[in-house]
Amino acid sequence: MAINGVSAYQSYASSIGATSTAKTDTKEKTDKKEAYSGQAAVYEKSDKKLSEADRSALVAKLKEDSDKRVTQFKSLVLNMFKKQGLSFKTAEGTIDEDAMYKKLASGDFEVDEETKRQAQEDISEDGYWGVAKTSDRMLDFAKALTGGDADKMKEMVKAFDRGYQEATKTWGKDLPSISSDTRKATLEKFDKWFADQGLDTTSEKILNS
């Protein structure tokens, strides 16, 4: 679950959901609904220390769930562009994601109503890619990876920020507000975690050190 990928797909959804050049196209509605019918993985909140095996299982579950959602959203984007005669496949048959990012960042595309609805749902307050749930997953992922080791959590703060900066560079300009809001919420949750451990540190101090 690459951190820069999180910002990237929030940006995808924001660009699609907010664009004003939408036109109705009901084709493939059923396929899209089926693709998004699965529920997001639910992770129990607990103050207990997880065993190494439990942490590994949680990391795998988080990654599997995120990869599935990213694949679904990528399919949504590619189907939207396909209907406009746009393809981002390379000669090797892979997807040129940088080119796709740039096209989305330009805003020069049309969006059918079903794609727009799904994107808006994804980044809504209760959506999978919304600020609250995404920032929660970021902290859960960090805790699962580090086992709650304070020094490693500090490194996760740096890794998270690097991912955000990489996503901004790939996007080619400032990311949409939902991504910056998620960054802020995630760092605030890191700060709360440090405070709960009785540590005199903040993400701001870590990033400026």
For the segment 69-98, what is each residue's pLDDT rounded down to a tens digit? 888 888 888 888 998 899 999 999 999 988
* pLDDT tens track for 160-201: 999 999 888 888 888 889 999 999 999 999 999 999 999 999
Our CA angle for 151, 157, 162, nearest 5°, is 130
As a whole number, mean pLDDT of residues 12-28 equals 54
- pLDDT score recorded for residue 187: 97
Assess if residue 193 is contained within a domain: yes
**Cα(99)–Cα(181) distance, integer angstroms:** 25
Q: Quick one: pLDDT band at residue 29, thresholds 50, 70, 90?
A: very low
Assess if residue 120 is contained within a domain: yes
- Helices and strands per DSSP (H, E), number in the chain: 9, 0
The pTM score is 0.78
- pLDDT score recorded for residue 48: 57
Domain count, the chain: 1
- pLDDT score recorded for residue 5: 62
Q: Quick one: pLDDT band at residue 19, thresholds 50, 70, 90?
A: low
**Cα(193)–Cα(199) distance, integer angstroms:** 9
Assess if residue 33 is contained within a domain: no
- Closest residue by Cα to residue 77 from 170, 163, 167, 11: 11
* pLDDT tens track for 40-61: 444 444 445 678 888 888 888 8
Residue 20 β-bridge partners: none
Assess if residue 82 is contained within a domain: yes
Which residue range is the domain that position 143 belongs to? 3-19+49-208
Assess if residue 32 is contained within a domain: no
With a pLDDT cut of 70, the percent of the chain lying above it is 81
